[in-house]
Amino acid sequence: MKIVLIGAGFGGLRLARKLNNQKGIEVILIDRFNHHQFQPLFYQVATAGLNGSDISFPLRKVFHNSKNVRVRLTEFTQLHPQDNSITTSEGNIKYDQLVIATGAGTNFFGNTQFEKFTWPMKSTVEAMEVRNHILKNFEDALMETNALQKQRLLNIIVVGGGPTGVELSGAIAEMKKYVLPKDYPELDFNAMNIFLLEGGPRTLANMSEKSSRQSRQYLESLGVVVKTNALMQGYDGKTVVLADGSSIESSMVIWAAGIKGNIPTGIDASLIARGNRIKVTRQCMVQGFENIFAIGDVAYMEEPAYPKGHPQVAPVAMQQADMLARYFKNLIKNKPDKRIPEFTYFDKGSMATVGRNLAVVDIPKPRMHIGGFMAWMIWMSLHLMLILGVKNRFFIFLNWLYAYFTRDQNLRLIFKKYY
């Protein structure tokens, strides 16, 4: 049985590993990158806390001893369900079973200005570009004589009050407090402002009220200006205009306000749900097909506890991958009951970190909220466990240990060919 997996994110990679060396199954894993990217730590790459290589792991290394999983570095361009094939940038590939795990990309909500002038952060490369631009702005501010332009270079705006926006704002605030004044003693960092703009009434809207309130308190204690109900209406690369008519000067706006599913060409428009996600059954089957599946951020599944679809987080993708792995194994073993059970998401909790010793954790069963140092330790431990590779875990731990005792991020490097 030939299974083609499109996407090596949390869901696609998990499924490939579960099917590794399974007799009777051939797996083709397709991705446009040759590495798995640990998205929860993009913000640390963007703020010079970690190397890009620390949170990325070569796909081929994962399957060094595999007899049945093969990696293809190519881009999936179109689906042809009528003849069980897909088109990629390197040609056509046939399948018996197809799993779409293409994840999600940045959602600019159709605003071309935002897409042109703001900085997204949905890949390791984009996170490194954010770091480059932040540091280059400070270099330019040293030489800038125009007061307005200098203020634009110093101000940083993060759009989106979800975990990424909260974590990124906190990390930049700690840079401002402990690192940047030493790097740039000629600049007055009292004039630097960090804004977190959230269109809704509170930060961390998908977490508890207590976590939301606490995260805001943590951010404000670090000097971040948190603005809720602050919808961004326009941006020309210099001035952010909000819906209430107010404006903020900045040449560095980081977009963490929304995501949308990466849907391939060939999916019928009637199967596309809100958020650009593919409608699937409770068995992860794309509606109307028995051998095409979608999992993770790109899949839209309704269940009683989640009538508007699952949250677009890694545990959903991984649990769906586990369910499909069991189904494919049963299918190849000709077990009497080959039906896929209905998927039910088991929510183990949510968490976000704001800075040194500051984090929030919500556990649903038993209902519990943890904040501060203990939550921060839980956050660090869990993220270390989820990182692929002993070497990566080791270097991340060393970087965190160094930063904790020195209050310094030692990776403030600008990697770019030309400016």
Q: Is residue 415 part of a domain?
A: no
**How many structural domains compose the chain?**
1
Q: Check which CATH number belongs to the domain holding 193 and give it.
A: 3.50.50.100
Q: Is residue 270 part of a domain?
A: no
Q: Is residue 166 part of a domain?
A: yes
Cα 202 to the chain's mean position, in Å?
A: 20
What is the reported pLDDT for 266?
Answer: 84
- List CB contacts of 58: < 8 A, sequence separation 6 or more: 34, 35
What is the reported pLDDT for 415?
Answer: 79
- List CB contacts of 193: < 8 A, sequence separation 6 or more: 154, 155, 156, 225, 248
Catalytically annotated residue among 167, 186, 198, 303: 167
Place of tokens 């590794």: 20
What is the reported pLDDT for 419?
Answer: 47
| Alpha carbons 122 and 114: distance in angstroms, whole number | 15
What is the reported pLDDT for 337?
Answer: 59
Q: Is residue 29 part of a domain?
A: no
Continuous segment of H or E residues that includes residue 394 = helix 390-406
pTM (2 d.p.): 0.92
Q: Is residue 216 part of a domain?
A: yes
Encode the chain (419 residues) as per-residue pLDDT tens digits. 999 999 999 999 999 999 999 999 999 999 999 999 999 999 999 999 999 999 999 999 999 999 999 999 999 989 999 999 999 988 999 999 999 999 999 999 889 999 999 999 999 999 999 999 999 999 999 999 999 999 999 999 999 999 999 999 999 999 999 999 999 999 999 999 999 999 999 999 999 999 999 999 999 999 999 999 999 999 999 999 999 999 999 999 999 998 999 998 888 899 999 899 999 999 999 999 999 999 999 999 999 999 999 999 999 999 999 999 999 999 988 765 567 889 999 999 999 999 999 999 999 988 999 999 999 999 999 999 989 888 889 999 999 999 999 988 778 888 776 54
Q: Is residue 267 part of a domain?
A: no
Q: Based on the number of CB atoms within 10 Å of its own CB, is 345 exposed (0-12), middle (13-18) or buried (19 or more)?
A: middle
Q: Based on the number of CB atoms within 10 Å of its own CB, is 346 exposed (0-12), middle (13-18) or buried (19 or more)?
A: exposed
Asked if 75 is an active-site residue, the reply is no
Count the residues in the chain.
419
| Alpha carbons 360 and 378: distance in angstroms, whole number | 9
Q: Is residue 373 part of a domain?
A: yes
**Inter-residue contact 102 to 6 (CB < 8 Å):** yes
| Alpha carbons 150 and 137: distance in angstroms, whole number | 9
Q: Is residue 46 part of a domain?
A: no
**Inter-residue contact 62 to 41 (CB < 8 Å):** no
The boundaries of the domain holding residue 171 are: 112-257+356-406
